[in-house]
Structure 1
Amino acid sequence: MIEFRTVADDEPALNFSPLLRGVQKTFAYVQEHGSIGLTPSKAFKRNFVHWAAAEFDWPGHTEADLFAVNKVLNEHDFMPVGDIHFLLTTLKMGRHYKGDFKLTKAGSELIDQPGRLFGIITPFYLFELNHTGYTRFSDEPLLGNWDMFMNILNVEAEDGITGADLRRTLYGDPDQGPGPRYDDILGSLYINILRPLCWAGLLHVDRAKGFQSTERSLFTKTPLWKAALKLETDAMVGSATRH
């Protein structure tokens, strides 16, 4: 069973979460400017997306990364912005009003409570958001569930595990072909499980480059994992050392 601990507002491990940082910076932008402008399709306008690209400091989606492949940035060009927009409106922390996005009373009350904010947005982001929207394999769900994945990672990622080793632990070796080939299962595992956990700040990835990069990338639990999660496999990784 996955249980989230209450995280104190001054917990240093919260700094590991790009998701929390992005939400907090979005709140700060609305505080300063009053609102975020919306396009006719109700997406965030480019001026905010450009600002977010510079300010969010999102791993793998820095300003340089994004503008290397885009001349301008719309919401759909910066996936985390779209996730945050959906998350805040769905959780009723923000709303659309006359062509703008504004914070609700519930959202405004969380501005100075990062620990509480993390505890609200993270379970929703991980377990409710449809991460398969970013993959062409959305009609082929992974065998398993979040409880299984997180309890296995709790043990296997304690000292770091590569994508290839995690794939092998969960599903065995991929079918061998005459040459290098894309591993659909590992790709789906990364998009649906590993990347969301990294973006939530619970895992850290030392990202390898080139073809088959996920196989060679190393995934390790961050201090936020231990500060925020209570899992059935804790006894296997020394739960007595937890605070």
Structure 2
Amino acid sequence: MIAFRPLADDHPDLAHSPLLRAALLTLQYAQEHGAIGLTQTKAFKRVFVHWAVENFAWPGKSAEEMFRYNKVINEYEFPPLEVLHYLLITLRLGRHFKGEFRLTKRGADLVQSPGRLFAELIPFFVLQIDHASYARLNERPFGKWDVWMNVINVEADHGTTERALFAAFYGEGPDWDNAGWRDMAAFSSCVLRPLEWAGLLVQTAEDSGGNSLHHVFKTPLWRSALKLDTDGMLQPIRVQ
């Protein structure tokens, strides 16, 4: 079982969610400007895409890095915004009208309510979206969220590695430097990355003998927002 606990609008752990922060900024921008302009293909216009790149503070996608090689960025070149756009329309927090993205009443009601927006946005994003649809390889790992999240709850409680998590589900052997890299990529794209975008996990990279070793940790938001069957198996964190 996976249950998301309700969080107060001023709960400090909400700050760990990049997707929630991006959604709040987008809704606030649409409210302050009346609307966000759309292209002929109903993507956000570049003026807003550039604003989003500069203001989302997205992990691993700083404005400096993204503009270093591309002075013009389209929505599809900034995947977090493309996914967020889809989410806001699907959840009816915004709508397309006469070439513009405009807030719905529901969207306007949630602009000043981060806790309620989290409850609307994050469970749907993590559990209902086909994450392979926006991944580079469009391949899905075998498994389901109830198993993935309950195992990660235990395995990553005091920190682990991407490879160790993969092995916990699928066995030793596959890695980024052998024939199993596609399986690793599917697991990373469809399981770990959505949890990181939601703000429930965080990854850090360490250079180890020329290879990048990815460490995975649960954020405080995981602990405050989730109620899982394996919670009783967790060991208290010792304070030195």
| TM-score normalised by length of structure 1 | 0.91
Task: Tell whether 2:236 aligns with 1:230.
Answer: no
Work out which of the residue numbers 185, 199, 213 in structure 2 matches 1:201.
199
Task: Tell whether 2:107 aligns with 1:107.
Answer: yes
Structure 1 Cα separation of the partners of residues 35 and 175 of structure 2 = 53
Q: CA 1:36–1:212 in 2, change beyond 3 Å: closer, same or farther?
A: farther
Structure 2 Cα separation of the partners of residues 141 and 132 of structure 1 = 6
Structure 2 Cα separation of the partners of residues 209 and 78 of structure 1 = 26
Q: Give the conservation status (yes or no) of the 8 Å contact 1:20–1:118.
A: yes
Q: Give the conservation status (yes or no) of the 8 Å contact 1:154–1:233.
A: yes
Instruction: Return the offset for 1:174.
Output: 2.5
Structure 1 Cα separation of the partners of residues 180 and 63 of structure 2 = 28
- Alignment partner of 2:203: what SS? strand
- Alignment partner of 1:121: what SS? helix
Task: Tell whether 2:204 aligns with 1:220.
Answer: no
- Alignment partner of 2:217: what SS? strand
Task: Tell whether 2:190 aligns with 1:192.
Answer: yes
Give the structure with the higher percent strand.
2
Q: Deviations over 1:26-66 (max 9, x none)?
A: 01111221110000000000000000000000001111222
Q: Give the conservation status (yes or no) of the 8 Å contact 2:174–2:183.
A: no
Identify unmatched segments of 5+ residues in structure 1.
none
Q: Where do 1:5-44 residues align within 5 Å?
A: 5-44=5-44
The amino acid across from 1:171 in the alignment is Y
Structure 2 Cα separation of the partners of residues 212 and 171 of structure 1 = 21
Q: CA 1:135–1:19 in 2, change beyond 3 Å: closer, same or farther?
A: closer
Q: Which residue of 1 aligns with 2:158?
A: 159
Structure 2 Cα separation of the partners of residues 134 and 97 of structure 1 = 25
The amino acid across from 1:188 in the alignment is A
Q: Deviations over 1:191-210 (max 9, x none)?
A: 00101101100001113469
Structure 1 Cα separation of the partners of residues 102 and 175 of structure 2 = 52
The amino acid across from 2:36 in the alignment is I
Structure 2 Cα separation of the partners of residues 220 and 175 of structure 1 = 21
Structure 1 Cα separation of the partners of residues 187 and 99 of structure 2 = 37
Identity of aligned residues (%): 46
Identify unmatched segments of 5+ residues in structure 2.
none
Q: CA 1:175–1:194 in 2, change beyond 3 Å: closer, same or farther?
A: closer
Aligned-residue RMSD, C-alpha: 2.0
Q: Which residue of 2 aligns with 1:150?
A: 149
Instruction: Return the offset for 1:129.
Output: 1.8
Q: Give the conservation status (yes or no) of the 8 Å contact 1:39–1:45.
A: yes
Q: CA 1:52–1:40 in 2, change beyond 3 Å: closer, same or farther?
A: same
Structure 2 Cα separation of the partners of residues 154 and 123 of structure 1 = 16
Q: CA 1:182–1:68 in 2, change beyond 3 Å: closer, same or farther?
A: farther
Q: Where do 1:170-181 residues align within 5 Å?
A: 170-174=169-173, 180=178
Instruction: Return the offset for 1:150.
Output: 0.3
